[in-house]
Amino acid sequence: MRICVFGAGAIGGHLAARLAHGARSSGVQVSVVARGAHLRAMQQRGLTVRARDGVLRCQPNATDDPATLGPQDAVIVTTKAPALGTVAAAIAPLLHGDTAVAFVMNGIPWWYHDRTARDGARMPALDPGEAVRRAVGIPRTLGGVVYSAATVVEPGVVEALAEDGRVVLGELDGSVTPRLIALADAVAAGGMGGQAVPDIRMAVWSKLLGNLMTGPICVLARRDMGTLLAEPTLREAAIRVGEEVVAIAAAHGFDLGGSVAARAGRSAGLRHRPSILQDLEAGRPMEVEALWRAPLGLAADAGVPAPTLALLVALASQAAEGKGCWAPGASA
């Protein structure tokens, strides 16, 4: 099975290393599309991932030109949402008739309404000009979320802090297909949880709950999750955001269950800077639309008030705009 990880930064690098680690049993051939110093380091010295269960080293076929890799059996897209336009423009050489494309990303995905009762509804800010829809198409598309807490600590080296690192994958219509199981098994062979689930949107909301509880506040405070949640007032604000997100998800048919306060307690032990904060500090485009504004749009659609989330998103969006990392109406 030929698998390309498109966007092998922190998350993509961790995932590529897991796939390569499991290749002896799974038979997977791994390639990555990356850029910049991280790509050059992988080409020269290989990829190193320092994870809680050990150090993984591999030498994937790394390039910034997908045309050199040829058609794949599966492509796993792990770019940030603002880079999807670049993916759409470059992905064609990786595709043949049966290639599956799994979008393993944060936030509300561009395909969210497809294969549901609202099929045909669009959220234009998530796929400007429908570039991804045209380039990939719904029949190829799988949804996905990842728990990794990964950071590129130097070119070619990724640190992954999550104790329960896993990738959750699903078909948009809820079916559990051979291609879905094969891709999840390839991930699991590398020692990272690989789950094929019948309701990928539930997984999207579950991941989004954690992203929203800490992301906007971390951006405003410029602090890691553990430090932030140790402060009682900020912890209470995070819990209120979580309760609002649970209500939004419930209004759309997704019961997230569990205790929001308990989730905050688990995150309090993680000295991880959320990826959206890492992007702000590095001056990179931020996932403001997919992670922050799209959930608020879904809240408005359902008539669910989310005042704490709305306030924090408004403030954090100003921080992103002020740093040049996002602009209202900017395309991917």
Residue 43 lies in a domain: yes
114 and 256 in a single domain? The answer is: no
Q: Are strands 74-77 and 54-58 parallel, antiparallel or unpaired?
A: unpaired
pLDDT in tens, 101-132: 999 999 999 999 999 999 999 999 999 999 99
Average pLDDT, whole number, for the chain?
95
Q: Are 201 and 254 in contact (CB under 8 A)?
A: yes
- Domain span at residue 70 reads 2-198
Within this chain, do residues 245 and 187 fall inside the same structural domain, yes or no? Answer: no
Predicted local distance difference test score (pLDDT) of residue 318:
97
Last residue of a domain, one of 198, 228, 257: 198
Are residue 179 and residue 255 in the same domain, yes or no? no
Tell whether 241 is covered by a domain: yes
Both 236 and 262 in one domain: the answer is yes
Q: Which two tokens stand for residue 35?
A: 């850029």
pTM for this entry:
0.95
Rounded CA gap, 178 and 104, in Å?
18
- pLDDT of 281 > 50? The answer is yes
Q: What CATH number corresponds to the domain at position 19?
A: 3.40.50.720
Q: Return the higher-pLDDT residue of 66 and 149.
A: 66
Residues 119 and 251 in one domain: no
Q: Assess whether 69 and 166 both reside in one domain.
A: yes
Which of 31-45, 138-152, 153-167, 259-273 has the least mean pLDDT?
259-273
Q: Is residue 183 part of a domain?
A: yes
So what's the pLDDT on residue 272? 86
Regarding whether 11 and 156 lie in a shared domain, the answer is yes
Can you tell me the mean pLDDT for 137-156? 95
Give the containing element (helix H, strand E) for 75: strand 74-77
pLDDT digits (tens, 9 = 90+) for 203-218: 999 999 999 999 999 9
Segment 216-269, tens digit of pLDDT: 999 999 999 999 999 999 999 999 999 999 999 999 999 998 889 988 888 777
Q: Of 182, 198, 214, which closes a domain?
A: 198
Q: What is the pLDDT of residue 161?
A: 82
* 332 found inside a domain: no
User: Which are the catalytic amino acids?
Assistant: 207
Mean pLDDT of the 18-45 span: 95
Domain final residue pick, 138, 164, 198: 198
Same domain, 15 and 87: yes
Please indicate, yes or no, whether residues 43 and 175 belong to a single structural domain of this protein. Answer: yes
**Do residue 31 and residue 98 come from a single domain?**
yes
Strand partners, 104: 144
Mean pLDDT of the region 299-324: 98
d(CA 82, CA 6): 14
Q: How many whole angstroms separate alpha carbon 33 and alpha carbon 5?
A: 6
Q: Is the CB of residue 7 less than 8 Å from the CB of residue 77?
A: yes
Separation CA 243–CA 229 (nearest Å): 16
Q: Does any domain span residue 56?
A: yes
Give the CATH number for residue 219: 1.10.1040.10
Query: Pairing mode, if any, of strands 54-58 and 47-51?
Result: antiparallel
What pLDDT was estimated at residue 332? 44
Return the higher-pLDDT residue of 267 and 26.
Answer: 26
Domain count for the chain: 2
Does residue 291 sit within a domain? Answer: yes
Residue 330, pLDDT above cutoff 90: no
Give yes or no: residues 147 and 34 share one domain: yes
Q: Do 173 and 29 share a domain, yes or no?
A: yes
Whether pLDDT at 81 is above 90: yes
Confidence (pLDDT) at 166? 94
Q: How far apart are CA 139 and CA 137, in angstroms?
A: 6
Does any domain span residue 76?
A: yes
Alpha helices per DSSP H over the chain: 10-21, 23-26, 36-45, 84-90, 131-135, 178-188, 200-221, 225-229, 232-251, 260-267, 275-282, 288, 294-302, 307-322
CA distance 144 to 197: 10
The DSSP code sequence of 285-326 is ---HIIIIIHHHHHHHHHT---HHHHHHHHHHHHHHHHTTS-
% of residues, the chain, pLDDT over 70: 99
